[in-house]
Amino acid sequence: MKIIKKGQTAWTNRHDTFTEDIRDLYELGNDDDAYALDSYNNATQGFMGLINEAITMQTPLRALGAGWSWTKIATVKDGIILDTKPLNTRFNITAASLRPDYTGDPKYLTFVQSGMSVQELDDFLFSKGQAMKTHGASNGQTMAGAVSTGVHGAAFDFGAMPEFVTGLHIITGPNRHVYLERASRPIVSDAFITRIQAEHILDDNLFNAALVSFGSFGIIHGLMIETEDLYLLDTYMQRMPYDDSDSGKKLKAIMETLDFSNAELPCGNERPYHFMVLLNPYDMAKGAYVTTMYKRPFVSIYNKPKENDAGIGPGDDAPAFIGLLTDNVPELVPTMVTKILGANLPLSDLDPQGNLIKQTGTIGEIFSNNTLRGKLLSAAVAMPVSEVNRVIALMLQANEDFGPFAGLFSFRFVKGSGAMLGFTKFEDTCVMELDAAYSPKVYDFYSKTWKILEDEGIPFAFHWGKITELSSDRIRRMYGQSVDNWLNLRKQLLDAQCLELFTNPIMLEWGLA
Ligand SMILES: Cc1cc2nc3c(=O)[nH]c(=O)nc-3n(C[C@H](O)[C@H](O)[C@H](O)COP(=O)(O)OP(=O)(O)OC[C@H]3O[C@@H](n4cnc5c(N)ncnc54)[C@H](O)[C@@H]3O)c2cc1C
């Protein structure tokens, strides 16, 4: 493995919202002149060497993905952070790598190295006529970074990215690396384990704990993921009344039940693949912005998605443009929010008959954003879908009482996660996202919002990679017994030295060490 010690003593996240003092940043890379598997195995040895060195130096270590998180989870004060982005190889899987009793088709399994970006994997899978089952609205994250915080889109009948992971190859110490799978769903053969020279552990709880563990279970080197045949998404964005109480079958009811049987959406009552609702608190009269996407078999000729005049495509979410907002003059916030949304959101055009015109693309074409305009904040909390309308009423009231909030309220729907600390933890989860201007007033609004949710007894959990206000107590209220289980499983996997090595200050603050 190539290791470039950058001599860097400060690190700033992608959003420029914090800077951490570090001891150094090491940029890692695969050996170009070795066979892919040899290079992968050399990197395993390289990681173990780095862990050994860090133990000798008594310096904490943290794997860094693309640095897109707002929380200080990808960094460690006065420690060494490992830039894993260039570790981006991948392997097709053949039957020899699978157990004889595995009934699935090996072509739908791909073993990816941790630093491969979502975009790189989209491109690779496209080349073999396949696609990921879901991903977030943007595609700049690394696979390990995205899975480690539970990144989600709005595939509400599937779930978030961790749900398509079936195996994790983790470097856990100076002399140990393990391949974790669920005992209830073993997939790989001994031959596969021999090839990557790992120790095989089959354990549902350990796997589920490591799946969303934000760098604290060691260094994830490879992930086995399940894919599917390439598909297209027919996408629409329209404005609809949020609360049409004259009719029992409208948006508000759908959001709370995910029952589309009486829906009046672009494809009638067909159950969409993706469902997202965005509310501008300053323009409710004109309705919510509703995005629906329907999955279709791939065909080679279709009209590719186009960006609108503001450069925003049909799958982009607010972080692509919300950095244009400020709340320096509170009186102007409502007008600014409405103006910026109006100019940026890619509402579907209408044909001469007044029907919405769809935009079609692969998942990689629809969710393709990785550029940002301006500094911004984003917080996201998961809650049961049954609470969503109660929460919307509280949010609108909070905006009256403590606003104006320089941002918008958006709601994506996602199936519950199998990860022990997956934040999309409710069987039917709604993730409320509060994307907003970078400002102390927004932080204050966030704080008041969490307090309101707590006072109202609404169960919720924070996205690990977005703005949070977590404490040990809050985490225990959110995850209950799972916290102790997760801590015990971490202790089971890592020895005392490595527990310390992979602990950073934010985990201590959160009571997760
Ligand atoms: C513009 C924008 C849009 C976004 N859209 C979405 C969205 O649609 N949905 C959503 O859910 N989130 C979204 N997010 C949040 C973001 O996707 C998550 O914070 C994600 O975790 C970032 O991935 P990353 O590769 O940058 O990881 P980082 O932020 O670098 O790291 C995240 C965590 O993963 C750990 N990690 C990284 N690599 C490894 C490894 N090899 N081994 C062990 N641990 C590792 C790090 O230590 C850290 O704890 C968005 C963020 C931005 C900036």
User: Could you tell me which of 447, 386, 464, 499 has the C-alpha nearest to residue 70?
Assistant: 464
Distances (CA, A) of 64 to 13, 45, 146, 147: 10, 18, 11, 13
In a domain, 475, yes or no: no
Residues 504 and 446 in one domain: no
In this predicted structure, what is the pLDDT of residue 344? 86
Instruction: Tell whether ligand 1 has an atom less than 6 A from the beta carbon of residue 170.
Output: no
Best CA proximity match to 398, nearest among 462, 474, 456, 345? 456
- SS3 sequence, 266-295? CCECCCCCEEEEEECCCCHHHCEEEEEEEE
Both 176 and 247 in a single domain? no
My answer on whether 242 and 196 are in the same domain is no
On whether residue 285 sits in a domain, the answer given is: yes
* Residue 485: inside a domain: no
State the pLDDT at residue 125. 98
Q: What is the pLDDT of residue 226?
A: 98
Q: Check: CB of residue 439 under 8 Å from CB of residue 421.
A: no
| CATH number of domain containing 269 | 3.40.462.10
Same domain, 164 and 248: no
Q: From the centroid of its chain, how far is CA 248?
A: 33
Q: What is the pLDDT of residue 247?
A: 55
Nearest atom, ligand 1, residue 160 CA: 11
3-state secondary structure at position 492: helix
Mutation test residue for ligand 1: of 50, 139, 149, 322, the one with most atoms within 8 Å of CB: 149
**Cα separations in angstroms, 224 against 39, 104, 346, 364:** 18, 14, 35, 19
CB of 73 shorter than 6 A to ligand 1: yes
Q: How far, in Å, CA of 9 to CA of 20, rounded? A: 8
271 and 194 within one domain? no
pLDDT 10s digit of each residue in the chain, 513 long?
Answer: 999 999 999 999 988 889 999 999 999 999 988 899 999 999 999 999 999 999 999 999 999 999 999 999 999 999 999 999 999 999 999 999 999 999 999 999 999 999 999 999 999 999 999 999 999 999 999 999 999 999 999 999 999 999 999 999 999 999 999 999 999 999 999 999 999 999 999 999 999 999 999 999 999 999 999 999 999 999 999 999 998 766 555 899 999 999 999 888 999 999 999 999 999 999 999 999 999 999 999 999 998 888 888 888 888 877 777 878 888 888 888 998 999 888 888 899 999 999 999 999 999 999 997 776 678 899 999 999 999 999 999 999 999 999 899 999 999 999 999 999 999 999 999 999 999 999 999 999 999 999 999 999 999 999 999 999 999 999 999 999 999 999 999 999 999 999 999 999 999 999 999
Q: Which of 26, 159, 148, 23 is nearest to 84 (CA)?
A: 26
- Residue with CA at minimum distance from ligand 1 atom 52: 68
Residues 259 and 224 in one domain: no
Looking at the structure of the chain, the number of domains it has is: 2
CATH of the domain at 123: 3.30.465.10
- Looking at residue 308, its pLDDT comes to 85
Whether residue 147 is found in the same domain as residue 267: no
Residues 256 and 213 in one domain: no
Look at residues 227, 272, 231 and name the one whose alpha carbon lies nearest to residue 133. 227
477 assigned to some structural domain: no
Any ligand 1 atom below 6 A from CB of 39: no
Burial class (CB in 10 A: 0-12, 13-18, 19+), 299: exposed
**Is residue 476 included in any domain, yes or no?**
no
Query: Is the residue at 191 inside a domain?
Result: yes
What one-letter code names the amino acid at 186? Answer: P
What span, in angstroms and rounded, lies between the C-alpha atoms of 86 and 100? 34
Q: Would residue 480 count as lying in a domain?
A: no
Q: Is residue 80 part of a domain?
A: yes
Tokens of 470: 């977590």
Strand partners, 29: 2
- Give CA–CA dist 394/453, Å, rounded: 8
Q: What is the DSSP letter of 498?
A: H
DSSP readout, 340-381? HHHHHS-PPPB-TTSPBPPEEE-HHHHS-B----S-EEEEEE
Q: What is the pTM of this model?
A: 0.96
Provide the pairing of β-strand 61-64 with 80-83: parallel
Residues 171 and 293 in one domain: no
Ligand 1 pocket mutation pick from 15, 71, 138, 425 by most atoms within 8 angstroms of CB: 138
- 427 and 503: one domain? no
Q: Tokens at residue 92, please?
A: 């097709």
Same domain, residue pair 44 and 74: yes
Do 383 and 430 contact (CB within 8 A), yes or no?
yes
Q: Residue 271: which domain range?
A: 233-469
* Predicted local confidence at residue 343, as pLDDT: 86
Residues 333 and 208 in one domain: no
